[in-house]
Amino acid sequence: MALHGLASALPRPIGFGQSTSLDKVRPGALLRFGSSRLLLGVGSPLPPPRIRTAAGTRSEQLLAAEDELKVLGTWRSPFALRVRLALNFKGLGYEYLEEDLDNRSDLLLQSNPVTKKLPVLIHNGVLICESLVILEYIDEKFAAIGPSLLPADIYERAMARFWATYIDSKLVAQWLKMFRANTDKEKAEATRETIEAVEKLEGLLSGSAEGQSKKPFFGGDDAGYIDVVLAGMIAWMQGTKELCGVELLDAARTPLLLDWMERFAELDAAKLIMPDVGNLVQFAKVKRAKMMNQN
């Protein structure tokens, strides 16, 4: 299933190896979706983003006019994508800054001296790093605005955190091992682990674990924390066949995940920012070739 259409109609985020020069992006390009305005572009001074919800001006009082949210990320990072999705779900406006990892901006170097990684969320000059940490911050800080990402029930919240950790430590980590494997043995092992992780996640959607009925999203009737955490990997999972020669997703073994991916990509919060699978695959191939040549 290809992701196209709306995403390709947008000013393309900066690709690999190019510096973040302002003339590559239409400055001040504004897009409207759902109840919020998303700012795509860098640099030019603009009025602070405003929140519009059905409640009208109530949220504008909660998110003060001076409230400023910035996200530093790359278009291909599953972690940065999570943060943008979370902000979109909450209906929070923000400035997205595409980083060139070969030429890191001063803002990034100042923002995350510790792990020097993306994404970084900057809220009124305050820095938050690590995607899962950022997601919980957004959910807690802006609890009064938009839907909640994490469930209200304490036990369900623990389950959500458990599966988010699982996605990172099993799916993402093993996927990377599979993608970067140097030997057949390494690749086979990582492939097995990745497929197992995917099947567990399919099982979650089927609700078979707790005798619950099938649900459209991991969060239930509406998308929530786990959906956002996993969504960062959608395009990567879809590109796995071409990148690794591994059939991660198919109608027989992972029908629910396939449905979920389609459903998720249609959501207002998602459809304008999901990366194009073709571009991602192309980028990854180039990157991998470079890494091989360096070895």
Partner 1 sequence: MDHQQEEKVQLFGMWASPYVYKVKWALSIKGMEYEYVEEDLGNKSGQLLEHNPVHKKVPVLVYNGRPVAESDVIVQFIDDVWKGQGGRILPEDPHERAMARFWARFVPDKLSPPIWKWFTTAGGEEQEAAREAAVEHLRVLEAELNLGSNEFFGGDSVGLVDLSLGALAYVIPMYEEIIGARLITEEMFPSLYAWMGRFLAAPPVKDHLPPMEELKLRFRAIREYFLKNA
**62 to 101: interface string for partner 1, x by CB under 8 A:** ----------------------------------------
Stretch that binds partner 1, among 80-88, 160-168, 227-235, 262-270 (CB under 8 A): 160-168
Select the residue interacting with partner 1 from 76, 84, 90, 141 (CB under 8 A).
Answer: 141
Question: CB of 288: closest distance to partner 1 in angstroms?
Answer: 24
Select the residue interacting with partner 1 from 24, 177, 200, 241 (CB under 8 A).
Answer: 200
DSSP state of 128: E
Q: Give 148's Cβ-side CA count (13 Å radius).
A: 11
Stretch that binds partner 1, among 63-71, 90-98, 153-161, 228-236 (CB under 8 A): 153-161
**Residue 42 or residue 164: which is nearer to partner 1 going by CB?**
164
Select the residue interacting with partner 1 from 23, 56, 115, 185 (CB under 8 A).
Answer: 115
* Contact between 117 and partner 1 per CB under 8 A: no
C-alpha dist (Å) from residue 264 to 95, 144, 206, 224, 268: 23, 24, 16, 11, 9
Gyration radius of the chain over CA positions: 19
* Contact between 166 and partner 1 per CB under 8 A: yes
- Residue of 33, 1, 5 whose CA lies nearest to 267: 33
* Contact between 158 and partner 1 per CB under 8 A: yes
Counted residue by residue, the chain has a size of 295
Interface contacts to partner 1, rule CB under 8 A: 114-115, 123, 126, 128-130, 132-134, 136-137, 140-141, 154-155, 157-159, 161-162, 165-166, 200
